[in-house]
Structure 1
Amino acid sequence: MSSVNTAIQLITREQAEKGAAAKGSTCSPALAKGPWDYDLAEALAGVPAYGPGASSADPAPAGTPRQGQLPEEYKRASDAELGERIRAAKAALGERAVILGHFYQRDEVIQYADFVGDSFQLANAALTRPEAEAIIFCGVHFMAETADILSTLDQAVILPNLAAGCSMADMADADSVEECWEQLAEIFGAEPDAEGRVPVIPVTYMNSSAALKAFCGEHGGIVCTSSNAKTVLEWAFQRGQRVLFFPDQHLGRNTAKALGVPLDQMPMWNPRKDLGGNDEQALLDSRVILWHGFCSVHKRFSVAQIDKARADFPGVQVIVHPECPMEVVDAADSAGSTDFIKKAIAAATEPTTFAIGTEINMVNRLAAEYPQHTIFCLDPVICPCSTMYRIHPGYLAWVLEELVAGRVVNRITVDHNVQANARTALERMLAARP
């Protein structure tokens, strides 16, 4: 099976040659270009953006990191030449560097990774390489921040393309969350109830900035992953009368619903509206206050796609990520984290047809890894994560060769004061095992 990038190149070429008669489709022909074209366009416009792909319509905050221009030699190099340069640099660096690749990363980059996994698996994987002077995180910004929080002071965490952010993570910023917290404090007060539970516990998804993880650590809260969200919510309910969950409304709603929390006790908080768009009574009656955030990759999946998969493939097993909308999770056979999806397919002993609702690079990789099964993405349109896709072998070759030359570029550092509180929230998460 060809990589997602190869498929996009072919589709774009066919669309240019044959127009509407071309087979297959992608959400943006701009995906066929090099990510450095987006870097240049943003520099000329003076406005950051997430780039083509699933998050292309999401507005990027003014402070979103931007990537400087990649040296021309890396833009002009062929895939084969970049491969030779990456392998040579890795060999020269040896154990001094470790490359981490997220499940959603393009195959052209994943092939060079020392570890492949989800964001927290990768941050923990880096801990197994204490001798590594550099951790090259082929993922997005919040993942590199987490790695910096958990790594040693002597280790440099590098993000090959600084523009690889996360639109969902950016939907909850520290100022907006602080303002929300102050408004909630005016309504709920600070006194615990008869059982000693405080009025509200903040819970942030791993897909958030280090500043928000630190906010949770400072205010008695915790971090969760899609793997342990249920356990974390149970932890929070033991300590608080209600939960403020950010930034992903869908993971919060799906997890709380599975725990029996009624939908009418899960108001949405829109940071652009007074009291988040709620009246005081709705907030007082709440069990989980959901932030108005979402993943643009997982928002693309629909019940109609599931219905079509069942019609086309009777007996198909539909597995989706819990970042998908509630009606999609309800219509699927099961829902779980990227690791859950991978393990479910690995556990199938008989040839099975799977329709998967998560990022296309991971789905295609699973299809190639388990050829005894029929595995396809629910969304027929090839539309990868905009920001993951901005990591390209050219950037990886550049940061590695800079390390060989004794220079550290694109280092991600988290302020020590932020690190302390963020680490507290992460340690609480580690203790809350499913």
Structure 2
Amino acid sequence: MQLTTEQLKEKIKEYKKRLNVTIVAHFYQRDEVFEIADITGDSLELAIKTRDDDSEFVLFCGVGFMGQSVKVLSPNKRVVMPKAACCAMATMIDGMQFDASVKVLNDAGIPNENILPITYINSNADVKAKVGEMGGMVCTSSNAKKIITTALKEGKKILFVPDRCLGQNIANQMGLKSCVIGDGTNPADADIICYNGFCSVHQLFTMDDINFYRKKYPGILIAVHPECDPEICNAADFVGSTSQLINYIKKLPEDQKVAVGTEFNLVNRLRPKNTFVLSSTKPECPTMNETTLKDVYDVLKSIDEGEPLNEIEVDEKTQKWAKIALERMLAL
């Protein structure tokens, strides 16, 4: 018999009372999943909060690299995911592609000792491990500028993976020169060399969207995520990470209109009035929205039966170096 939404919620509540499980959910999750979580936040925030949680199991509602980050920082925890969903950006680079990117820099006359790699947290554990082993670190969209500022003090070229937009936007903010591998630019002439990855959702926002809202609502503010194209960020009134966007919009006067360029579920929960999605289409992350209440219920049921579904495992070497890359960031 198929359970209704309300029945699923009740079953989940029953399991939560009996099992040693903490449910965590990313801001981009659909509402019914987000609402049943014990802990909510952005990707790094969730990894840090769950590290301090004492439950045996972390049931992570998000995408694969996020579950890996929890496992890397808390190797003794058992991390399960309702859906083995992947982040499109994270799948754009793996360890072999990272090595190939380093070779591009080598071929341009930049030896390894003059390269400091930084990976956006939206990357899989194998890439974080490669970066850690090469002396680099992880960054988030909120601390990328601080991380890059610190890294540049070593006098090295920054290899930034995988999001070209975040790398370019930070370079623009800092007055630095950037390039994207494969764009025909000599990497030796750039301060920040970006891998050609991107977020498919944040690529949906266009100048036509901005012009539409500015014309329709004179005085409207445009707030976007730094995964958006540099042209969009340059035209916006505010650029910030998920948490920074939330804080910025919370502080606006109630009558101040704002159009927000980030994932739909987050924008939809920000505030009831004068907040618009900066897109003519629904910018909904398909993989973040794969997780359903039924998936959460199924995983809780599997834990109760002693055979947990979709458990995250990270091999010892990858775990070691990925953790080093994450801890270098946390130390700053």
User: 1:303 aligned to 2:204?
Assistant: no
2-structure distance, mates of 1:176, 1:419: 19
Matched position secondary structure for 1:256: helix
* Shift, 1:383, TM fit: 3.7
Match of 2:224 in 1: 320
Match of 1:390 in 2: 290
Match of 1:417 among 317, 320, 324: 317
Change (3 A) 1:323 1:403: same
Match of 1:149 in 2: 72
Match of 2:159 among 222, 244, 264: 244
Match of 2:234 in 1: 330
Match of 2:87 in 1: 166
Match of 2:8 in 1: 82
1-structure distance, mates of 2:150, 2:69: 22
**Which stretches of structure 1, 4 residues or more, deviate above 6 A after TM superposition?**
none
1-structure distance, mates of 2:200, 2:280: 15
2-structure distance, mates of 1:180, 1:354: 39
1-structure distance, mates of 2:245, 2:104: 39
Letter in 1 for 2:146: T
The aligned runs of 1:204-353 (5 Å cut-off) are 204-262=119-177, 266-269=178-181, 276=182, 278=184, 282-353=186-257
RMSD of aligned residue pairs (Cα, Å): 1.5
Unaligned runs of 5+ in 1: 1-72, 192-197, 270-275
Match of 1:103 in 2: 27
Matched position secondary structure for 2:37: coil
* Shift, 1:350, TM fit: 4.4
TM-score by length of 2: 0.96
**1:143-184 deviation digits (Å, cap 9, x = unpaired):** 00000001142x21011111x101111111110111221342
Match of 1:13 in 2: none
CA contact (8 A) 2:65 2:123 kept: yes
* Shift, 1:380, TM fit: 3.0
Match of 2:56 in 1: 133
Match of 1:356 in 2: 260
2-structure distance, mates of 1:183, 1:83: 51
**1:78-117 deviation digits (Å, cap 9, x = unpaired):** 2122112111111221xx1101110100001011101111
Matched position secondary structure for 2:223: strand
2-structure distance, mates of 1:228, 1:324: 16
Matched position secondary structure for 1:204: strand
TM-score by length of 1: 0.74
* Shift, 1:354, TM fit: 1.3
Q: Quick check: which has more Rg, 1 or 2? A: 1
2-structure distance, mates of 1:161, 1:298: 22
Unaligned runs of 5+ in 2: none
CA contact (8 A) 1:246 1:290 kept: yes
Change (3 A) 1:343 1:277: closer
Match of 2:37 among 110, 113, 119: 113
2-structure distance, mates of 1:335, 1:227: 10
Q: Kindly tell me the number of residue pairs found equivalent between the two proteins.
A: 332
* Shift, 1:340, TM fit: 0.4
Change (3 A) 1:259 1:277: closer
2-structure distance, mates of 1:345, 1:356: 9
**1:365-385 deviation digits (Å, cap 9, x = unpaired):** 113xxx3x4111111322410
Change (3 A) 1:291 1:190: closer
